[in-house]
Structure 1
């Protein structure tokens, strides 16, 4: 009887342990980041999970920034997310600004995001204004 209860306890532990493990260790996100060239460790992701950071948003933001050629610090992006900021708005704005040839710092992008400014729209407006100025001075 003792052996059977040990086996049942082991099976129940495994059945409960596997979902808990995959909740705490976001292996799929880590693998996506790894394939995209973003250097994240599983421990960083676990600690982000324990801090209740929006891991999906942060990892996708880091991947987008990496693909867009924007060097982003994970801790700064996580801090922005934990403060209630929209990481997608900041990253997309930075990428759009870079492709438009505009200088936009991470700090300024975060500040604008907290003011509720859509950074991609702002970049497009700035590009349109510059095109209009070029037409005037031709």
Structure 2
């Protein structure tokens, strides 16, 4: 009995080990993916799939696009797809772009497509845009005509991707900026805003002649003006601002002149006060000088008396003059 139980346990352990080994084998070796590839007509060996595992490449990321390419009639191999995967590219998107280009009868090699993908461009979107052009709408761009009236215009740009210039070519932002610059230049060269309103097509015609798609990843097919609107009277606004600025400058200069006049007046008053102080100081020295002259015998008593008489006569004349001046200033009651 014990012998039978021991043999049953041994069989169970062997079966468990076999199951574990098979699970590890199937996990490491994608047998189901290999069978799917063979069923789709893609000849790939099981050792190739194992090698992908060893090179840290997900086999499904390579084999599934390879099956897609084979069904579309494209001749690719695992080495090309695996190298692009290891370079950090999107293998599935590259194959989709090649299939789309093949169906549209476009000449596009795998190397070119892989280079575009590695450059950060969406190669599938570029191929689709080459077949079906894209419409880019610009925001309202304002320009000022020569008569000073602001004109706002919005344009729709129909572009087609240029596969040959996708690597290193400028993007949509550059195209929009160049078209906006052309709109501003065309409006600014118009004599009046009414000419722009009457014939908005001259904006698109002028902009198209500039070759704005040079150096970009697109080919401009057409530029259509979607909307035109009138903005502010910039000329009048600038004239008003200039007049206000001139007025402020004039006021500032007048204030400067007034301040200078006040300063000069204050300076004159200071000088007058200084002169008055000197006169008072000189008058204070006169009695001392007379006393010293009397003491030294330079003048006599009669000279001093004559000086006082002359001074008194002068004071009297000044007083009479002030009285007459006041009488002339008072209004006549009879009048």
Q: Taking structure 2 as the reference length, what is the TM-score of the superposition?
A: 0.37
Among 80, 97, 101, the alignment partner of 2:101 is 97
Q: What residue number does 1:64 align with?
A: 68
Is the deviation greater in 33-42 or in 118-127? 118-127
CA RMSD of aligned residues (A): 2.3
Q: What residue number does 1:37 align with?
A: 41
C-alpha distance after superposition, 1:92-130 (max 9, x if no partner): 01010111111111111111111222222111211235x
Matched, 1:80 2:80: no
Structure 1 or 2, whichever has the larger Rg, is 2
More strand by share: 2
> Which segments of 5 or more consecutive residues in structure 2 lack a partner in the other structure?
134-159, 161-218, 223-335
Q: Cα offset for 1:17?
A: 0.3
Aligned with 2:120: secondary structure?
coil
Q: Cα offset for 1:77?
A: 0.5
Q: 1 CA distance for matches of 2:72 and 2:42?
A: 12
Q: 1 CA distance for matches of 2:32 and 2:19?
A: 20
Q: What residue number does 2:50 align with?
A: 46
Q: Which has the higher contact order (CA 8 A, sep 6+)?
A: 1
Q: Cα offset for 1:12?
A: 3.6
Q: 2 CA distance for matches of 1:25 and 1:44?
A: 10
> Which segments of 5 or more consecutive residues in structure 1 lack a partner in the other structure?
none
Among 11, 14, 21, the alignment partner of 1:17 is 21
Q: What count of residue pairs does the alignment treat as equivalent?
A: 133
Q: Cα offset for 1:7?
A: 4.1
Q: 2 CA distance for matches of 1:100 and 1:12?
A: 55
Q: Taking structure 1 as the reference length, what is the TM-score of the superposition?
A: 0.84
Q: 1 CA distance for matches of 2:53 and 2:10?
A: 32
More helix by share: 1
C-alpha distance after superposition, 1:5-36 (max 9, x if no partner): 75455234213201111012211111111111
